């Protein structure tokens, strides 16, 4: 998509590549479901995902809901070799020599009854992030440019209690929702938060990646809505100077983002400033942050999908909301253009998004940018 050495296209795409997507409703699996399908090179849903990526050709892309598979030969390498390196639907193969993925909190069992249903099952809503096996709904970052692995910061183990003025979750009588022993161990990130520096022809670009929990599937206590808000707020504080001094990463290094290098915030944030069930103050603060640009990508397909909704042009999910974001910093970045891969009926590529089962219930979101 880009030819100028100072221009790159950065994208995010929730690809629904986890066990629940491949099994009949109610059946439970694990990473082996994805491993089997990656190995064949013939899974139609993954072929469609690869075809979309090949058509849009981003230089850097974050895939959310890509199961964490510890053996890269069975995970990221299989995706690259069996799908991305193979022409899909007439598109050209694409290569990403560099990648980063790591463990996430989803499916990591806790010993506590976190949803207060009377049973500490260790899975589902009783895991540290909702999931039925460790690594479910993971994240994968692919890049055409070198990743500076020694400078990566991750925040998977940052404790929610350590965020000043975090949103408190209480029961109907006002007592804490989470028992104290659980609260002392509770991570903020439902998956993880990553700060991944990429070397773009000598220029450093930081990718801030996350996938906050959906702000639903709870009760009046709104525990998921509050966690979603604070997972988004994490980035607000991280880029706000001394406001982020309380943050510590998984190696114990304290402090927020203190670099002048440009950055881009990526991911399925599961929140819209104008629609849906999220506590909107979190995403609103991020989108209006003085260091952040909001290019507001749009598509013809989204308008066709929801012609009666005023904000439809900016939707990124078939359930009629803007949920997925590529937000460049103001410093060091000029936005060239942006978009959502959501063709209208009759447009090239429409067959790749015609049904939820065809590819995903989310759309690929991209921003072409020029590094100054």
Six-digit token string for 5? 């050495």
Q: Residue 176 to residues 79, 154, 219, 221: CA-CA distances in angstroms?
A: 44, 28, 14, 10
In the block, tokens 């059946």 appear at 27
What is the model's pLDDT at position 5? 54
Cα–chain center distance at 267:
3
Quote the tokens at residue 33: 């479901």
Can you say whether the dihedral through the CA atoms of 349, 4, 149, 164 is positive or negative? Answer: negative
pLDDT in tens, 87-104: 998 899 999 999 999 999
Q: How far is CA 34 from the centre of its chain?
A: 18
Chain segment 201-245, per-residue pLDDT in tens = 999 999 999 999 999 999 999 999 999 999 999 999 999 999 999
**Can you tell me whether residue 3 is helix, strand or coil?**
coil
Does residue 95 sit in helix, strand or coil? coil
Q: Do the beta carbons of residue 54 and residue 171 sit within 8 Å?
A: no
Give the pLDDT band of residue 6 (cuts 50, 70, 90).
confident
Tell me what the mean pLDDT of segment 24-48 comes to.
96
pLDDT of residue 89: 86
Tell me how crowded residue 119 is: count the other CB atoms within 10 A of its CB.
9
* Residue-level pLDDT at 3: 46
pLDDT tens-place string over residues 270-313: 999 999 999 999 999 999 999 999 999 999 999 999 999 999 99
The whole-model pTM stands at 0.97
User: What is the set of domains in the chain, with CATH numbers?
Assistant: 7-371 (3.60.10.10)
C-alpha torsion 363→364→368→372, nearest 10: 110
Q: How many CB atoms lie within 10 A of CB 372?
A: 10
Structure tokens at 52: 């979309």
CA dist., res. 36 & res. 125, Å (int): 26
Which residues are registered as beta bridge partners of 265? 208, 327
The residue to which tokens 């803007």 are assigned: 322
Task: Give the dihedral of Cα atoms 181, 183, 189, 192; nearest 10 deg.
Answer: -20
- Residue 151 has a pLDDT of 98
The stretch 331-340 carries a mean pLDDT of: 97
* Spatial CA neighbour of 369 closest among 329, 337, 341: 337
The rounded mean pLDDT for the chain is: 97
pLDDT at 2 over 60: no
> What was the pLDDT predicted at 229?
98
Mean pLDDT confidence for 155-164:
98
Q: How many CB atoms lie within 10 A of CB 26?
A: 6
> How far is it, in rounded angstroms, from Cα 314 to Cα 264?
19
């Amino acid at each position: 998509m880009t030819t100028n050495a100072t221009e790159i296209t950065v994208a995010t795409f929730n690809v629904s590549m986890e066990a629940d997507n491949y099994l009949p409703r109610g059946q439970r699996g694990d990473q082996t479901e994805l491993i089997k399908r990656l190995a064949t090179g013939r899974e139609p849903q993954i072929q469609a995902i690869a075809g979309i990526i090949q058509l849009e050709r981003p230089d850097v892309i974050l895939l959310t809901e890509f199961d964490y598979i510890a053996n890269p030969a069975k995970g990221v390498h299989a995706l690259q070799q069996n799908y991305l390196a193979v022409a899909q639907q007439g598109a050209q193969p694409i290569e990403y020599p560099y990648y980063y993925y790591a463990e996430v909190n989803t499916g990591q069992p806790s010993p506590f009854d976190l949803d207060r249903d009377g049973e500490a099952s260790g899975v589902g809503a009783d895991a540290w992030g909702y999931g039925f096996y460790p690594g479910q709904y993971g994240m994968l970052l692919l890049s055409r440019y070198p990743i500076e692995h020694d400078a990566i910061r991750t925040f998977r183990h940052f404790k929610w209690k350590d965020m000043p003025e975090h949103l408190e979750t209480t029961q109907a009588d006002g007592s804490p929702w989470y028992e104290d022993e659980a609260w002392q161990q509770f991570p903020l990130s439902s998956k993880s938060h990553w700060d991944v520096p990429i070397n773009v022809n000598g220029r450093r670009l930081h990718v801030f990646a996350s996938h906050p929990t959906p702000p639903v599937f709870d009760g009046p206590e709104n525990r998921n809505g509050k966690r979603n808000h604070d997972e988004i707020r994490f980035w607000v504080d991280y880029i706000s100077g001394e406001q982020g001094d309380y943050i510590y990463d998984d190696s114990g290094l304290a402090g927020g983002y203190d670099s002048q290098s440009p950055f881009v915030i990526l991911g399925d944030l599961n929140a819209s400033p104008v629609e849906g069930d999220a506590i909107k103050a979190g995403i609103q603060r991020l989108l209006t942050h003085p260091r952040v640009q909001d290019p507001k990508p749009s598509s013809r397909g989204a308008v066709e999908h929801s012609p009666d909704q005023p904000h439809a042009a900016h939707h990124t999910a078939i359930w009629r909301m803007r949920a997925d974001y590529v937000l460049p910093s103001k410093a060091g970045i000029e936005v060239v253009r942006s978009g959502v891969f959501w063709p209208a009926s009759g447009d090239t590529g429409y067959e790749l998004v015609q049904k939820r089962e065809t590819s995903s219930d989310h759309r690929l979101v991209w921003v072409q940018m020029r590094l100054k």
